[in-house]
């Protein structure tokens, strides 16, 4: 199986993505690297440990990483995911503990251990990965593939009018990664909105999913209500990113373009700018996802919740 390392800030949609990864027969999840993002690091780490426990997974190490953005403080997304990031259901403490190694160092360590094979998927702010790149700029040479959830490639933000949450939380980190990584796959907020699924379908999958389905139903209640107040459909940014990571053959349409991060300015800080018309001299760094096979996506989502 392909070794898969996930950097994440769980987070309700992160949890779904992690379940999809754990479910893949072609992949072996080799670790969860945790950052602050949706909520603070203590919560995101605890959520990761709890999710693994409920899923009955013992061998996956959890590495806590950065507890804040590289430079500037940022607002979290507790208003979507709940104050604890998992819908404030008051779950009992998980038995497991995080490893002593910092997540940035775990990324480097795994890149050596699985050199040339590692699939790296980021579902949160890019703080840990940026730090790893500063420690060792040769990192991309050892990673077979990087898939990033982040950005609003046509300017339709979700945390500000122009910026998507993962990039806006730590724009400097995203800048470091986008400048240093020669080629990565990008699942942005517009792609997320273009791949919706029905609340009713998800409710059925969760009902068929036993203890795990019931847990996901509970932790997602707050964020589902948030989405239902704004949209007819549900969607999962991190779930779609994971689907693209797990099944590249089901990616039907993409655009190879240069993407950069805006660091300045009150209106555009954290926005992503894509050179759509290919005016610039700089080579494309991103394969921007446009269309993923909807049937394959639904299949992966439902299988993960029924696991």
Question: In sequence order, which residues have a C-beta less than 8 Å from that of residue 254 and are 6 or more positions away?
Answer: 185, 287, 288, 289, 290, 291
Contact assessment for residue 65 and residue 33, using Cβ atoms and an 8 Å cutoff = yes
Which listed residue (34, 39, 62, 123) binds Ca ion by CB under 5 A?
123
Residue 237 contacts ligand BDR per CB under 6 A:
yes
CB of 11 to Ca ion, least distance (A): 4
Q: Measured from the CB of residue 299, what is the shortest distance to ligand BDR in angstroms?
A: 21
178: contact with ligand BDR by CB under 6 A: no
Binding-site string for Ca ion from residue 219 to residue 248, where x marks contact by CB under 5 A and - marks none: -------------------x----------
For the record, the structure tokens of 214 come out as 């019931």
118 SS3 class = strand
If the CB atoms of residues 158 and 220 are measured against ligand BDR, the closer one turns out to be: 158
- Strands of 184-187's sheet in order across: 62-64, 27-34, 2-8, 118-122, 143-149, 184-187, 286-292, 251-257
SS3 93: coil
The yes or no reply on residue 260 touching ligand BDR (CB under 6 A) is no
Residue selected from 31, 124, 125, 239 as contacting Ca ion according to rule CB under 5 A: 124
Any catalytic annotation for residue 43? no
Of 128, 152, 134, 136, the residue nearest 259 (C-alpha) = 152
Catalytic residue among 112, 175, 195, 235: 235
Instruction: Report the distance separating Cα 24 and Cα 154, nearest Å.
Output: 31
Q: How far is the CB of 280 from ligand BDR (least distance, A)?
A: 26
Q: So which residues are the catalytic ones?
A: 235
Where on the chain is the footprint of Ca ion (CB under 5 A)? 9, 11, 14, 123-124, 238
């Amino acid at each position: 199986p392909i070794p898969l390392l996930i950097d994440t800030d769980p987070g309700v949609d992160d949890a779904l993505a992690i379940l999809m990864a754990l479910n893949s027969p072609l992949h072996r999840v080799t670790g969860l690297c945790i950052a602050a993002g949706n909520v603070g690091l203590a919560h995101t780490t605890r959520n990761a440990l709890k999710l693994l426990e409920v899923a009955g997974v013992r061998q996956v190490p959890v590495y806590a990483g950065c507890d804040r953005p590289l430079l500037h403080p940022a607002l979290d997304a507790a208003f979507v995911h709940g104050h604890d990031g998992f819908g404030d259901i008051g779950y009992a403490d998980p038995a497991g503990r995080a490893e002593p190694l910092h997540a940035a160092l775990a990324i480097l360590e795994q890149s050596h251990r699985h050199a040339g094979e590692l699939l790296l998927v980021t579902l949160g702010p890019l703080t840990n990965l940026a730090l790893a790149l500063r420690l060792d700029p040769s990192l991309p040479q050892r990673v077979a593939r990087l898939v990033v959830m982040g950005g609003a490639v046509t300017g339709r933000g979700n945390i500000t009018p122009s910026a998507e949450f993962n990039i806006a939380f730590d724009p400097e980190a995203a800048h470091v990664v986008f400048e240093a990584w020669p080629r990565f796959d990008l699942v942005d907020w517009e792609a997320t909105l273009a791949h919706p699924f029905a609340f009713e379908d998800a409710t059925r999958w969760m009902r068929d999913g036993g203890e795990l389905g019931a847990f996901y139903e509970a932790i997602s209640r707050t964020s589902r209500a948030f989405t239902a107040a704004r949209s007819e459909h549900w969607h999962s940014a991190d779930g779609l990113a994971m689907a693209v990571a797990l099944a590249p053959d089901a990616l039907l349409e993409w655009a190879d373009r240069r993407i950069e991060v805006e660091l300045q300015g009150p209106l555009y800080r954290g926005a992503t700018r894509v050179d759509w018309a290919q005016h610039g001299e700089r080579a494309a760094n991103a394969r921007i996802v446009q269309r993923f096979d909807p049937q394959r996506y639904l299949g992966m989502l439902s299988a993960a919740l029924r696991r």
